Amino acid sequence: MSRSRGAGGVLLGLTRVWLPVAIAVAGVVAIVIGRGHTAVAGAGVVLLGIALIVWMINWLFRMSIESNRDREREEEAREYFDKHGRWPDE
C-alpha cells in the first residue's frame, strides 16, 4: 500500500498513530499524578480506553477500505471473465 505525501499524508499519520499515542500518554500521566486513588487517576484510565477506541476505529476503517479494494478487484476479474471466457490469472 502506498503512502500519501504532503499535508494529507501527515494528517493521516497524525490521526492513525500519534493521536491515540498522545491520548494514551495523557492517560498514563493522569494515572501517575493521581497515584491510582483519585478522580484524576480514574480519568487517566478512561483516557487509556479512549486511546484504544480511537486506534480500533482507525484500524476498522483501514480494514473496510481494503475490503472494498478486494471487491473491486473481484469485480474486474468477473468482467474479464465475461469478455474472454477465462479468469485473468489463468
Return the axis-axis angle of helices 19-34 and 39-84, rounded to nearest 10°.
160
Interval 29-76: pLDDT, tens: 999 999 878 999 999 999 999 999 999 999 998 888 888 888 888 888
Interval 12-35: pLDDT, tens: 878 888 999 999 999 999 999 998
**Residue 85 pLDDT exceeds 70:** yes
